[in-house]
């Protein structure tokens, strides 16, 4: 018998048998609908973090759950020795609506970034330039938790405990084109960037900087990898965040919201870059399986259909949130900055407010957010959130700040 509704037994098993890497709050959810979740005690919460930008269509989306249920009743897994129609269809849709010509599917954002790292190095290897194998990333970036992706991550705290780190990565200040230009040399094969650094406190790149990075990559004959694990699939008001910056990458990675909660990752690239991998060079047992790709197709269909209002909703609710949060900032000296894009927003507080404490206070009021560092909370709600629901969050935050509670 399952323990879904037994919080005390869940807590016991969690502490005794699960590796302690998450430090979960003592709360468990049993069901969801739209932007709402219900815990084992029947209490209702607004999911303003959306599973960390994963539940793009919200909870219990009819089309998504039907696609998953229908596919599960037919075929969950088929190995990659054979054609997989759902994978082919999802690749077609992603490539048709982006810069890309080819897609590779895996199970997570870290795996997608691993594929991007490998194909960037393989591209120059197969061109007879194996010495071009270094990748430049930004300080305070986050690209995943595998050995290669923590090496790519520009934050020492993720790398130091697991040394020796995978070689071949260099780090420069974000939004500093001069530093990047000085770092590029004959060994550089790629520049890897997030257009919004989510795990450092939601810091968007400057559009001028991104255009300069693209120009530099073209001039120096190196590849541009854009990590859209968190910003892709409608999160910033466009299907892909790079569209907001008026550039075209050579490689892009996706995950999180791509299948609305079913584990999936994707690495997209041009036909030219695709020469960086030959049959047998890469693979994934579960990657591109029928179930995950059926879910991915359901999500993409709801974003790209001619009558879809999802992206319009992201933009309208985003504008509302930024307007109301900045108005709150003007009234309260507790908020230092509101930043981000679309429905990926960071709220930075002054030293009197601790992010972890604010996260707890909001949870007590029925709102789920994430805390980043000492002073920033991040929100990344489902793309379906309404203006009325967004207003509930802002009003509650205002009430907490007015009460001056940490």
216-236: pLDDT as tens digits = 999 999 999 999 999 999 999
pLDDT above 90 (res 69): yes
Mean pLDDT in residue range 144-154? 97
pTM to 2 decimal places: 0.96
pLDDT above 70 (res 281): yes
| Distance in Å from the first CA to the final CA of the chain | 40
Look up 142 and say whether it is catalytic: yes
189 contacts 154 by C-beta, under 8 angstroms: no
> Where along the chain do its domains lie?
65-304, 309-378+395-406
What is the per-residue pLDDT for 404? 54
Q: Of these residues, 99, 105, 124, 142, which one is catalytic?
A: 142
Q: For domain 65-304, give the CATH number.
A: 3.40.640.10
Mean pLDDT in residue range 48-72? 97
Look up 367 and say whether it is catalytic: no
Task: Tell me yes or no: is domain 309-378+395-406 CATH 3.90.600.10.
Answer: no
d(CA 330, CA 353) in angstroms, rounded, equals 16
d(CA 222, CA 134) in angstroms, rounded, equals 10
Q: What is the pLDDT of residues 185-212, one digit of tens each?
A: 999 999 999 999 999 899 999 999 999 9
pLDDT above 60 (res 388): yes
pLDDT above 60 (res 1): no
Q: Of these residues, 256, 324, 334, 359, which one is catalytic?
A: 256
What is the per-residue pLDDT for 230? 97
Q: How confident is the model at residue 406 (pLDDT cuts 50, 70, 90)?
A: very low
What is the per-residue pLDDT for 378? 98
Look up 39 and say whether it is catalytic: no
Q: Which strand ranges, in their side-by-side order, compose the sheet holding 169-172?
A: 102-106, 265-269, 251-254, 223-227, 188-194, 134-138, 169-172
Q: Of these residues, 105, 132, 227, 240, which one is catalytic?
A: 227
């Amino acid at each position: 018998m399952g323990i879904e509704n037994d919080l005390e037994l869940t807590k016991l098993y969690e502490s005794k048998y699960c590796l302690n890497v998450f430090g979960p709050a003592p709360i468990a959810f049993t069901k969801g609908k739209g932007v709402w979740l219900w815990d084992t005690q029947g209490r209702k919460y607004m999911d303003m973090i959306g599973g960390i930008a994963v539940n793009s269509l919200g909870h219990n989306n009819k089309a998504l759950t039907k696609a998953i249920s229908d596919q599960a009743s037919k075929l969950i897994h088929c190995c990659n020795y054979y054609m997989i129609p759902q994978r082919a269809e999802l690749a077609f849709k992603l490539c048709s609506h982006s810069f890309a010509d080819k897609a590779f599917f895996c199970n997570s954002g870290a795996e997608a970034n691993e594929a991007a790292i490998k194909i960037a190095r393989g591209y120059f290897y197969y061109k007879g330039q194996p010495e071009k194998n270094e990748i430049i990333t930004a300080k305070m970036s986050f690209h995943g938790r595998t050995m290669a992706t923590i090496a790519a991550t520009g934050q020492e705290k993720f790398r130091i405990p697991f040394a020796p780190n995978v070689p071949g990565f260099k780090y420069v200040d974000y939004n500093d084109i001069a530093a990047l230009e000085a770092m590029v040399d004959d060994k550089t094969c790629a520049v890897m960037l997030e257009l919004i650094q989510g795990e450092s406190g939601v810091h968007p790149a400057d559009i001028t900087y991104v255009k300069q990075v693209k120009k530099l990559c073209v001039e120096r004959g190196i590849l541009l990898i854009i990590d859209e694990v968190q910003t892709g699939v409608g999160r910033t008001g466009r299907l892909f965040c790079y569209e907001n910056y008026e550039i075209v990458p050579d490689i892009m990675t996706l995950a999180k919201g791509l299948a609305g909660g079913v584990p999936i990752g994707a690495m997209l690239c041009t036909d030219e870059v695709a020469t960086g991998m030959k049959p047998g060079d890469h693979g994934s047992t579960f990657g591109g399986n029928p179930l995950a790709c059926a879910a991915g197709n359901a999500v993409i269909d709801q974003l790209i259909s001619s009558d879809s209002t999802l992206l319009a909703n992201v933009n309208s609710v985003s504008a509302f949130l930024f307007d109301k949060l900045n108005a709150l900032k003007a009234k309260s000296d507790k908020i230092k900055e509101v930043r981000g894009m679309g429905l990926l927003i960071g709220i930075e507080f002054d030293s009197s407010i601790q992010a972890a404490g604010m996260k707890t206070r909001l949870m007590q009021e029925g709102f789920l957010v994430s805390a980043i560092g000492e002073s920033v909370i991040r929100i990344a709600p489902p793309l379906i959130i309404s203006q009325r629901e967004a207003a509930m969050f802002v009003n509650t935050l205002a009430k907490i700040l007015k009460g001056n509670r940490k």
